Amino acid sequence: MLHTTWGALEIGMDAKKGQSILIRGGTSSIGMATAVLAKQLLMTVYSTTRNERKKDALQKVGVDHVLMDDGNVSAQVRAIAPEGVDCAIELIGTDALPDTLKACKVKGVTCFVGMLSNQWTVKEFYPMLSGYASGVDQLPEHVIQEFLDAVEAGRAVVPIDKVFQFEGLKEAHERMEAGSAVGKMVVLTGT
């Protein structure tokens, strides 16, 4: 989660302090972690959900503008920020990508990270023009330490949806597949 999020912000988007970001798929664990790290960069965070009941979870991690994803998020973004956002992280998939691109400023950056919708292609468009694969590079130790220090000091949160004992692994997987989780799910393997 941290590795993917940091890589998208640092390498994929070259995000800077004070910029704005749209997180498409905001209540996923990656989406929520992106909001936490973006707030540490003092970014203005726009984040989406399709579920009215999940809005509070986004506000708790510091999201400035919670947007209900009706398929036309770009219009909602531009109603608040007429020029668009500096960067966007796309977690929904290729079906949402064209609208996410419309939400960005001219010279804005969209980092295509996930495919929650399980839609893999856009007709006559291949979205992986350049990319960052979270399994390729090693996450710098200082990034992990700074994040852990921020959590310990209360400046950052790790959005945990639910903690399961190992025996509850099936239930955890079913919860994930149903899209019910808001944040990271944890499965304990020991006592």
Q: List, for the chain, all residue ranges whose pLDDT scores fall below the cut of 70.
A: 123-137, 191
Can you list the domains of the chain with their CATH numbers?
2-143+145-151 (3.40.50.720), 160-188 (no CATH)
Whether 105 and 84 have beta carbons less than 8 Å apart is answered as yes
pLDDT of 116-132, one tens digit each? 777 777 766 655 555 55
Sheet holding 20-24, edge to edge: 65-68, 44-49, 20-24, 85-90, 104-112
Where do the H-state alpha helices sit in the chain?
A: 2-7, 29-40, 55-60, 73-80, 97-102, 141-152, 169-178
Which residue, among 130, 129, 134, 100, has the nearest Cα to 117 in the 3D structure? 100
* pLDDT of 133: 58
* Amino acid 128: pLDDT: 53
Q: Identify whether the C-beta of residue 142 lies closer than 8 Å to the C-beta of residue 166.
A: no
Structure tokens at 70: 């009706």
Rg for the chain, CA atoms, rounded:
16
At residue 115, the pLDDT reads: 78
